[in-house]
Amino acid sequence: MASDRKSPPASSGSPHRAPEWADGLKQLYDSVVEEDLPDSFKDLIARLDEIDPRRGGGQNGGGSPTPDGRGARA
Name which residue leads in pLDDT, 52 or 8: 52
Cβ partners under 8 Å of residue 37, min gap 6: 45
At residue 8, the pLDDT reads 57
C-alpha 40/C-alpha 16 separation (Å) is 44
- The pTM (predicted TM-score) of the whole model is 0.35
Summarize pLDDT for 14-48 with one digit per residue, the tens.
Answer: 568 889 899 999 999 999 999 998 999 999 999 99
pLDDT for residue 74: 46
* Sequence-distant (≥ 6) Cβ neighbours of residue 47 within 8 angstroms: 67
Rounded Cα distance between 41 and 37, Å, is: 6
Task: Tell whether the model's pLDDT for residue 68 goes beyond 60.
Answer: yes
Please state the separation of Cα 9 from the chain's center in Å. Answer: 35
pLDDT at residue 54 greater than cutoff 60? yes
